[in-house]
Chains A and B, each alone.
Chain A
């Protein structure tokens, strides 16, 4: 009768297809991060294992296994020339998983393979933590759980039922998961550092500006950051997200100029206007910049606020981070130190005579800085300047070239030329880069800023008013904006918007894509943002805040909370999980079972061989108070069940008779009234003699 080993091998044989599928599903998406032949190697191992099982090829000897191991390891070395580091480590791990699968024979081996596959699913997160990846790994998890169910006696279930059971297990585990996720203490900082995992640069703002060098601006739809506002978001014309400020011009290229350390501002100045509180969720741009709304007022301690009005993180942001900020639109500073004034007037060489002439012409009437700025903007507007994302390259002096020859460019050209002209006129000016606009996601109620929203504008110093923002790109006449594919149009406030193929405007009135796609896009973005906001951002600091909010200050508090919540959940589930009574389908019999089940709780159990009427007599003897209700119930039941004819409404009557017997607490109540009535002993005796008949 002992057939354990055989049934084991049978279980293994039946589990392999599902397990193989799970392993392949786990391995294949690694092609995004690893050379394609590593996942292919794993899939090959899955196929080979399956072929061995179905006896198409013989089980591998030790020599073959050794050969496979050497091949796999060499493959890893060939690609990475090392075995440590994120990529090489994961590749080596996958190779090992394939080997283990190849040589697995016993149930124990199979469990190890399942565990390794689970770990393999986790390695995906080292490369991407998006919700899509997580959802995908959940699918792998469900498959693996279904495998385990098959191995532990679920052979009578259909594959579909097993999957459903696995999914149900996962769903029911969610509350416990949440409790653990929230309360299990997190430790700050890495426990070990791997030799620097390479962080390849990504698109985004650069730390210099070189109009004319780029002949094509790639407008990508990649998200740069997202912003949640407390209350109303600012109107579109105030949505300028401030990044690095460029002071120094060497004739071709604009740079920040001074060391950022010289640039630190100890205390944020109080601006004026409405205060906006918001949270920036920054994508991993691998830069130190954080982009606040103009102008930041309160700043978290992990960020440095610079005098130029933008923020620096301590080190390049390599993962999604969230920063709580507040800003006011008004300009904060009203004093320009001499050193800054000279930096804001710096010119690489005497300007081109044509440029000088142009500026002198405008300056003739000794107008103010604002008036001069207006002149320049008018110049851009009236002369045939064209806004385009594909400007011709500029050789020689980029300013004169743009002003007098090509007259085609995008924000960098307009902003740098504007600043240059102001400086020639002796007015301090600088270029500000960052992002402008962003679009409102009505599903998630947040503002999403994409790389395509990158922008450059100018600031001029106006005595008594401070730095004043001027956006020269907005001055281009609308009819001269090249309606390329990448371009959407002009915003309500006249600002030119950098838009990508899926064109949008701020108020969402001019959509070129179908409403369905737009909705789907919003929804996806909202889900992704919520994932980041609620799950990924939950780190040691947020946890600390959460625990403090719950007034958890010590370890013992935490243990109480964890223990209490987990055992509470267990109790709740245990209540739900009590197997429910099997009831026959026939209604009268069902009712009888329910009533007798209730009597059993009161200690009145019908023996298997005892007739129903005998049982009723015995109940009457033991509990005279129940004699009448249960006796009448039994008689009617017997009539319905075994009698030749019964009235049509008999079942209804049976239900009515059952009702008091099934009422909660009836047994106790009945006994109490019986006790107070003090049934004479004779009645009991006679009931007993009835039962004995």
Chain B
């Protein structure tokens, strides 16, 4: 007999809320913007807070021993201030809104850059906030003025190709007194494709072994620059003379057939073959030669330009998917 659905959902949500990992990983990833509320902000005493507890205990003992009302009062006042500082710490994070910004894809081995925007839609100035990515040591001290927003530029070292999700962003504060640390782990559905690390520049595509690109090809004429045209075809002298950006056109016989084929790579391990393909794509793009890509199970037709390049590189990054 299966339990009724309502019961199961209740059980699920209970399990989710009892899962303490969310204190650090931030639960399920969300698209954002994320608004920080009491459900997302956690607070615990710091080591200094425990130190304070010890001090309060000793003061309490002294006050009890001497039956000293002033000492009791000061002890309780200090305790009250510490308790109250939790509200301040909470308030320092509450109602902040976090949304993902730009992300720039990189090759494995470079650092990927993420942008995250933090808005402060309240009248309260936020200070003493530390932003950090889970698993890294770097932290960014933040101060956000009322009604303004800031942009965090986070970088993550990459090792291997594939989809790199933004690690959990942790906003933490010990403001105002350092006895308590309030923090909020935020997992944004935000990430980049990490392309394979390109092989060394010397590895030219096999095509050029047969048809080395000949810079002395027949010059046909000029046309206006379009995004994606190879830089080396730009008529730089004309640009320098202020005639606008024009591109030299050559008669491109036989240039439509460059297909970068998986089968053409040496039969080494997968990553190295992808690296080589990656290098070929870059070289072809640099040379301004239109190219296609053929991988086991998929093929990308001939093309040129940034979009095409990105499409090809992404295919490498997500291979074999």
Per-residue interface assignment for chain A, residues 165 to 187, with 1 indicating a CB less than 8 Å from any chain B CB and 0 otherwise: 10001101111110011001011
Determine the chain B residues whose CB is within 8 A of the CB of A570 once the complex forms: 83, 87
Q: Does B78 contact A (CB under 8 A)?
A: yes
Within 8 A of B (CB), among A143-177: 145, 148-149, 151-157, 165, 169-170, 172-177
Instruction: State whether B123 touches A118 (Cβ < 8 A).
Output: no
Determine the chain A residues whose CB is within 8 A of the CB of B104 once the complex forms: none
Q: Does A536 contact B (CB under 8 A)?
A: yes
CA distance A573 to B85 in the complex (A): 11
Q: Which residue on chain B has the smallest CB distance to residue A185?
A: B64
CA distance A536 to B77 in the complex (A): 15
Q: Does B244 contact A (CB under 8 A)?
A: no
Within 8 A of B (CB), among A121-156: 121-122, 125-126, 129, 133-134, 137-138, 141, 145, 148-149, 151-156
CA distance A173 to B175 in the complex (A): 16
Instruction: State whether A581 touches B121 (Cβ < 8 A).
Output: yes
Contact (A538, B69) CB under 8 Å given A7-B141, A111-B51, A579-B124: yes
Instruction: State whether A156 touches B143 (Cβ < 8 A).
Output: yes
Q: Does A200 contact B (CB under 8 A)?
A: no
Q: Which of B58, B69, B79, B177 contacts A119 (CB 8 A)?
A: B58
Instruction: State whether A177 touches B73 (Cβ < 8 A).
Output: yes
Contact (A177, B121) CB under 8 Å given A190-B65, A536-B69: no
Within 8 A of A (CB), among B54-90: 55, 58-59, 61-81, 83-85, 87-88, 90
Instruction: State whether B84 touches A169 (Cβ < 8 A).
Output: yes
Instruction: State whether B95 touches A579 (Cβ < 8 A).
Output: yes
Contact (A173, B83) CB under 8 Å given A129-B69, A134-B73: yes
CA distance A7 to B177 in the complex (A): 17
Interface residue tally of chain A, by bracket?
35 or more
CA distance A4 to B139 in the complex (A): 8
Instruction: State whether B129 touches A174 (Cβ < 8 A).
Output: no
CA distance A570 to B91 in the complex (A): 13
Contact (A169, B128) CB under 8 Å given A129-B69, A153-B141, A582-B123: no
CB distance from A72 to the nearest CB of B (A): 21
Q: Does A578 contact B (CB under 8 A)?
A: yes
Instruction: State whether B84 touches A148 (Cβ < 8 A).
Output: no
CA distance A539 to B85 in the complex (A): 28
Q: Which of B68, B81, B124, B173 contacts A173 (CB 8 A)?
A: B81
Overall SS of chain A's interface: helix
Determine the chain A residues whose CB is within 8 A of the CB of B125 once the complex forms: 156
- Name 30 A/B residue pairs within 8 A (Cβ), A-sorted: A2-B139, A4-B139, A118-B55, A119-B55, A121-B74, A122-B74, A125-B74, A129-B69, A152-B173, A156-B127, A157-B127, A169-B88, A173-B77, A173-B81, A176-B84, A177-B76, A180-B80, A184-B72, A186-B64, A186-B67, A188-B67, A190-B67, A536-B69, A566-B83, A577-B88, A579-B122, A581-B121, A581-B122, A582-B123, A584-B147
Known: A111-B48, A172-B84, A189-B67. 12 other contacts (CB 8 A): A1-B140, A115-B52, A133-B70, A145-B177, A151-B178, A174-B80, A175-B80, A176-B79, A180-B79, A570-B87, A573-B87, A579-B94
Interface positions of A (Cβ within 8 A of B) = 1-2, 4, 7, 108, 111-112, 115, 118-119, 121-122, 125-126, 129, 133-134, 137-138, 141, 145, 148-149, 151-157, 165, 169-170, 172-177, 180-181, 184, 186-192, 319, 535-540, 566, 570, 573-574, 577-584, 608
Interface positions of B (Cβ within 8 A of A) = 48, 51-52, 55, 58-59, 61-81, 83-85, 87-88, 90-91, 94-95, 99, 120-125, 127-129, 137-141, 143, 146-147, 173-178
